Amino acid sequence: MTGAETDRGAAPLVAVLDYGSGNVHSAVKALSAAGADARLTSDRGLIQDADGLVVPGVGAFSAVMSALRESRGGELIERRLAGGRPVLGICVGMQVMFDNGVERGHDAAGLGQWPGTVSELDAPVLPHMGWNTVRSGAGSVLFDGIEDERFYFVHSYGAQQWSLEVMRPFAEPVLTWCDYGTPFLAAVENGPLAATQFHPEKSGAAGIRLLSNWIGALPGR
């Protein structure tokens, strides 16, 4: 049953993009706990028709981009966003939404959904691993009711600036920041595209609530 065929009383169908990103079963489990019919899949039809698509990502920026290119995952993400269909990126799945990433001197092109570069955090100890608070943007859907909670991070790189200019009638993106050595983007909500640098699936009850907030905002819910 596709998203278009799902009635309002049924759990929304959320596809978790299977492109070889590693162990993502915790994300599927967390999405299910948050109220979704979550499925790890590479089926192009299901990915296109699902109510929501989650793009996980672990490891190096360049490796994730290579896997997305080989699986043509970038095309699927672009097609969904062009149609206004929701996508949620997690960790490196957020980072690759930017123009490019620089890791250990290697510059890799990203998906280019947002302008900017993902670079190493300026912090005394890396990686940034463990629980941290965030400063959620005004009107955030993702952080509704969990503004003061802590979330689980494990990364050494991040987007440290935001330069996208949005013209009316489009709404301004909602930006959520975190501090670790320097401020970096912990989450972005920009039309159908949202993303978190932290792992909601590893963030306990607060992470489940964030996923539930995203699921609840899917069209038709």
Catalytic residue annotation: 91, 199, 201
DSSP-derived pairing of the beta strands 106-109 and 128-133: unpaired
**Given CA atoms 126, 131, 137, 140 in this order, what sign does their dihedral have?**
positive
DSSP-derived pairing of the beta strands 114-120 and 128-133: unpaired
Residues 6+ apart with CB under 8 A from 75: none
**Given CA atoms 97, 102, 107, 108 in this order, what sign does their dihedral have?**
negative
- Alpha carbons 12 and 191: distance in angstroms, whole number: 19
Q: Decide: helix, strand or coil at residue 12.
A: coil
For the chain, the C-alpha Rg in angstroms (whole number) is 16
Q: Decide: helix, strand or coil at residue 146.
A: coil
Q: Decide: helix, strand or coil at residue 126.
A: coil
